[in-house]
Amino acid sequence: MPFGLRKIPFSVQILLGLVLGVALGFLARSNDLSWLTSTLHTIGSLFVQLLKLAVPPLVFTAIVVSVVSLRGVANAARLALKTLMWFGITALIAVSIGIGLGLLTNPGKGVTLDLGGAAAPKKTGSWTDFLTGIVPTNPVGAFVEGNVLQIVFLAVVVGAAALLVGEAAEPFVALNRSLLEIVQKALWWVIRLAPIGTLGLIGNAVASYGWDLLAPLAKFTTAVYVGCALVLFVVYPLVLVLAGRLNPLRFFAGAWPAIELAFVSRSSVGTMPVTQRSVERLGVPREYASFAVPFGATTKMDGCAAIYPALAAIFVAQVFGVHLGVTDYLLIAFVSVVGSAATAGLTGAIVMLTLTLSTLGLPLAAPACCSPSTRFWT
Amino acid sequence: MIRTATNVAGQALVPTVVAAREGTLDRAAYESAGRRDLTDPEPAADTRPELSPVPA
């Protein structure tokens, strides 16, 4: 890295990448420069690939090392329960905001969609996914697929067994410690590339996806943005102040690289290594963060599993002229709070959306009518 | 985009709040988190020497 670049703060480098990416994206779009679009696309996806590459070894080694150093199993179980409880509390607030906004804005009123070409989605969510999904069919498969939740499961089991084996397991634990250090080192190199990766990701977004298709769904898209902004900048600061007695501004200053990368990469799992670094930098003990962050990356989705499915369900019901009663709204909330854990590992808004729609008995072909650009830009 | 940003903010928020409530959050590190470089190889070595590894 040139000497001069070291002096620019990392967050400013990322911001520069963002601004330059938008500019290059517009340039590629307005002048129809396909070579520039494909270059931006390659840079962006290569960066996300590099981050995802770090995820399986990082999750496995960090959890094994943590389990061995935790020792107090009762304490760990209590922490896990508390984490789940706060996942639930924040999800409940988020889904209430989604339902409230849906009722206020009526995003589907007056929208007519041509359902002729709407195909049913390939991936759908079901209630037993969690139980069948958490246990891998073979240990190598979990790593091959990069299934974070299965790797978490394997690592907890292996770590607990290593702890009980004791002396004979010490070389294994030492190997994991050493691997963790190596992965972290390599990960720092990748994170340093974040400004360039950001440039590619946002540039490709601007160059490849237009806003023209958004028009009929503008109300819906705006509602998703307003809902997410309310959660991000009203609900979360309130939770930080009231539940943690923490200054919200400091939280955003510390977590910003992860939030910003999530925005441009649209991938919780790809962002996970940066989220974990940010959370540790915020002063959360590594032993706890190494569990909570991968667990959260697969089960905690206030945007995709609370705001979005609530608004989409109301949107679809209005488009199809189906009346939703109080029970339906309670069902939406229930699916959102419990369902994101139940579909963990099958991450994605489509999975949560189909789970919500099938629970409410709404047509499943509907998600395809939420245009790709709407899904992309939210 | 905004959805993933919200997801990830929540994924960072819950561990922070739980750690704060448990009393295990390093509040000095929390206060200065934004000022320390994320790519700094030893992020909190100077702010919490009591947690640095002790040679065996």
Q: Which domains occur in chain A, in start order?
A: 3-372 (1.10.3860.10)
Number of A to B CB contacts under 8 A, please give it.
Answer: 213
Do the Cβ atoms of A277 and B25 come within 8 Å? Answer: no
Tell me the domain boundaries of chain B: 1-32
The 3-class SS string of A77-130 reads HHHHHHHHHHHHHHHHHHHHHHHHHHHHHCCCCCCCCCCCCCCCCCCCCCCCHH
Distance from the B47 Cα atom to the nearest Cα atom in chain A, whole angstroms: 10
Q: How is chain B split among helix, strand and coil, in percent rounded to 5?
A: 60, 0, 40
Q: What is the mean predicted confidence (pLDDT) over A66-77?
A: 72
Of A282, A65, A259, the closest CA to residue A181 belongs to A65
Taking contacts as CB-CB distances below 8 angstroms, the residues of chain A near B26 are: 283-285
Q: B48: pLDDT confidence band, cut at 50, 70 and 90?
A: very low
- Asked if A269 reaches chain B (Cβ–Cβ under 8 Å), the answer is no
Mean pLDDT of chain A: 82
Taking contacts as CB-CB distances below 8 angstroms, the residues of chain A near B38 are: 10, 191, 257, 274, 277-278, 281
Do the Cβ atoms of A278 and B29 come within 8 Å? Answer: no
> How many Å apart are CA A348 and CA A90, to the nearest integer?
18
- Which residue stretches of A282-325 are H helix? 286-299, 308-319
CA distances from B29 to A360, B10, B35, B40 (A): 45, 19, 10, 14
Give pLDDT tens digits for A223-268: 889 999 999 999 999 999 999 999 999 999 999 989 998 988 888 8
SS3 call for A360: helix
Give pLDDT tens digits for A128-170: 666 667 788 888 888 887 777 788 889 889 988 988 888 899 9
Residue of A82, A268, A277 lying closest to B38 (CB–CB): A277
Looking at this predicted complex, what is its ipTM?
A: 0.81
> Residue A121 is encoded by which pair of tokens?
């989605």
Count of CB atoms within 10 A of residue B40's CB?
A: 14
- Closest residue on chain A to B48 (Cα): A283
What is the CB-side half-sphere exposure of residue A142 using CA atoms within 13 A? 21
- Closest residue on chain A to B51 (Cα): A285
